[in-house]
Chain A
């Protein structure tokens, strides 16, 4: 069975452009999380999906950031009008979504975003 996959693996963009980052979770995992890993801030939570709903968006840094999930599967994180401080590795994780032992999160390899 495949793990969590993310695309692209690397993205270089110019300041002010929009970018879309994709996450394919493990099949059957209802919970999906986005995190951001940057040198200055460490690992930060961005948003959590349960199915197609996002009950916790509290980690999104600004209204330039949005995310959606369709069909309870693929998720897209969109950053509009990118800024240099958005440069980071964006990590996606998925889990079965139950409490307790079945809620182990499995991480994808990440998308490294560089904003020039």
Chain B
């Protein structure tokens, strides 16, 4: 089946610290992988995505590389800001399932202190 496992939060960092949020997956077929972000009081937004092995998705200083050999899609940022405080969700879609249906991880709460 399809599933996503991401590191449990909460994660608390100081401004300018390095961020890693781990995400691993199981999937039927060849999945596309996503990171979504939910800022306080707002809806889910797509942060970045990768559709095939070795692709790197990037946006707003965040990066994640699709690693088929380790079935991982870890989210990284070199220097976090207070404005990055949010909940981050790793997700996948699989060609073997309903078109576009997303399978989400449980989410990781990130808090960045000044």
Contacts and interface: CB of A to CB of B under 8 A. Distances in A.
Interface of A: 4, 31, 33, 35, 42-43, 45, 48, 50, 55-56, 91, 93, 95, 97, 99-101, 103-105, 107-110
B9 to A, nearest CB: 12
B51 interface: yes
A56 B43 contact: no
Interface of B: 36, 42-46, 49, 51, 89, 91, 93, 98-107
Give the 4 A-B CB pairs with smallest separation, nearest first. A43-B104, A107-B44, A56-B98, A42-B106
At the interface, is chain A mostly helix, strand, loop or mixed? strand
B46 to A, nearest CB: 6
Nearest to A92: B43
A75 to B, nearest CB: 15
30 contacts: A31-B99, A31-B100, A33-B100, A33-B101, A33-B102, A35-B102, A35-B104, A42-B107, A43-B89, A43-B102, A43-B104, A45-B101, A45-B102, A48-B100, A48-B101, A91-B44, A93-B44, A93-B102, A95-B100, A100-B51, A101-B51, A103-B100, A104-B49, A105-B46, A105-B100, A105-B102, A107-B45, A108-B43, A109-B42, A109-B43
